Structure 1
């Protein structure tokens, strides 16, 4: 069993990306499970850059954000120390796993995206842009949504220091200005939120393509396809989705506006950065909010699935 810096015992690899891998680990000092993101050797692993990103992410304290606990660097790489970030371990299934079974019921999709928007609103209030909002970075836990991987977050408006021709993020969720390597602003997260909401509602991307090359070509040639007709979906939700996918960043809504509109559409409660935040409704921590709404509000009960059967 590998141990980082004599403290974090890596138990199981739970995710692999282009620039890092994520491990389930144990912190014996505080006796708790954690997630450890280890940057892949040979990537852009500048310790100071990643330390700065970790510090920015660590400032976020929000119920829909997986917290950053620690940062370090271990001497396992050929080109010098390899940085790692220690994060809260969010127990649950990714949104990507749930979407493998097809689109979500619109009430659940809207509620999930309301909580994602609330997490982004907290980040944007701190001047932080996520840059990689996608289903694999959203976890549905027993107590609500957790947005992961603020480890590649960046200060809003900061110039991109990657080599020419390289961008950070997932192609299907990149805003048009990211493809031109413009400085990231909160608007790029809102474009990704629009793609996420569209995918949750329709079960497919707003562009038809089989490969990344086709996807990028389709985005240059045509606007996103309109949402299909979904029985019961409030028109303001469809309008918000379309606004998030606007080519012009100034035409996209703010994360705070999106969080409040989506929450209102399903009569949900979200935590947003306001001067006098509303007091959250108390609930049993062992009860999933999705199950709770099914029990408390019959108008939504028929469409709320059992998450354990949706992740097949």
Structure 2
């Protein structure tokens, strides 16, 4: 629905990405402004930053951080990833979701094409169909927003988007990174949706060295009932600990601490310790 152009910020002398809707797409300034505001509220290392919003000849645009790298979808063309890489990506995406959820934002379209892998880590892109927690769909009789293979079962029943919605997508993403395929393989989109709503996911292949707690977390993310899925903060910390990585989670999701910072760097190798 959109095009992203490489641009140059002449004021600050830096490369940027400029996102505009593709020619022929219906648009309103409000929709694009909402996307810009949703992403701009999230100052997080695993979320692509938003610098500005404006219009030119009635065409709305967003000026964003230029993220160098390839999408996770491009990497997955070659099959499954090494489990350590897959789990680290999952931890970083979960940390980005924890930041979004703490601001009341649900992404609604977590998938490999919206994750960019860069030398500094994973970046979550495209808040174009993001919603506030509990927000009803714009058209109750229209299609469910999101990519069907990653949409949570309750969304097909008409339930509004919640943080648990994104966690189902994260579980699907993690399964795909570990196995090179989706948890459900069906011949048609209709059969796929039915399987997501009613069938258990196919067993994950044996992966040498993969911690059992990672498999358990992934399975809980794919639970049919939203209340059985873990929070993004829990997922981020558990996955990061499994590969001895560090992630940034909103301090508001942790116990009160005597520091003015809104964010902490969580050294997962030492449980209970927090570093400002």
TM-score normalised according to structure 2 size: 0.87
In structure 1, stretches of 5+ residues that fail to align are 1-18, 76-80, 282-312
Q: C-alpha displacement at 1:247, in angstroms?
A: 1.0
Aligned counterparts of 2:197 and 2:97: Cα–Cα separation in 1: 27
Q: C-alpha displacement at 1:26, in angstroms?
A: 2.2
Aligned counterparts of 2:149 and 2:61: Cα–Cα separation in 1: 27
Aligned counterparts of 2:135 and 2:6: Cα–Cα separation in 1: 31
User: Could you say if the C-alpha distance between residues 70 and 261 of structure 1 is closer, same or farther in structure 2, counting changes exceeding 3 Å?
Assistant: same
Q: C-alpha displacement at 1:128, in angstroms?
A: 0.8
Residue number in structure 1 paired with 2:273: none
State the Cα deviation string for residues 196-229 of structure 1 (Å, max 9, x = none). 0000001100001244233223334422112122
Residue number in structure 2 paired with 1:39: 21
Residue number in structure 2 paired with 1:153: 130
Aligned counterparts of 1:234 and 1:137: Cα–Cα separation in 2: 26
Secondary structure of 1:37's counterpart equals strand
Residue number in structure 2 paired with 1:225: 202
Aligned counterparts of 1:31 and 1:22: Cα–Cα separation in 2: 19
Residue number in structure 1 paired with 2:108: 131
Residue number in structure 2 paired with 1:194: 171
CA contact (8 A) 2:249 2:266 kept: no
1:178 to 155, 169, 175: 155
Aligned counterparts of 1:67 and 1:150: Cα–Cα separation in 2: 11
User: Could you say if the C-alpha distance between residues 271 and 51 of structure 1 is closer, same or farther in structure 2, counting changes exceeding 3 Å?
Assistant: same
Structure 1 runs, 4 residues or longer, greater than 6 Å off: none
**Alignment size in residue pairs:** 258
State the Cα deviation string for residues 83-137 of structure 1 (Å, max 9, x = none). 2222111101111111111101111100110001001101111111111111111
CA contact (8 A) 1:57 1:151 kept: no
- Once the two structures are overlaid, the 10-residue window that deviates more, 192-201 or 156-165, is 156-165
Q: C-alpha displacement at 1:260, in angstroms?
A: 0.4
2:10 to 28, 33, 40: 28
Q: How does 1:213-292 map to 2 (within 5 A)?
A: 213-274=190-251, 277-279=263-265
Q: C-alpha displacement at 1:278, in angstroms?
A: 4.5
User: Could you say if the C-alpha distance between residues 280 and 217 of structure 1 is closer, same or farther in structure 2, counting changes exceeding 3 Å?
Assistant: closer
Q: C-alpha displacement at 1:250, in angstroms?
A: 0.8
Q: C-alpha displacement at 1:43, in angstroms?
A: 4.2
Residue number in structure 1 paired with 2:44: 62
Residue number in structure 2 paired with 1:78: none
Q: C-alpha displacement at 1:279, in angstroms?
A: 4.6
Secondary structure of 1:271's counterpart equals strand
Residue number in structure 2 paired with 1:165: 142
Residue number in structure 1 paired with 2:180: 203
Q: C-alpha displacement at 1:41, in angstroms?
A: 5.0
User: Could you say if the C-alpha distance between residues 221 and 52 of structure 1 is closer, same or farther in structure 2, counting changes exceeding 3 Å?
Assistant: closer
CA contact (8 A) 1:121 1:255 kept: yes
TM-score normalised according to structure 1 size: 0.77
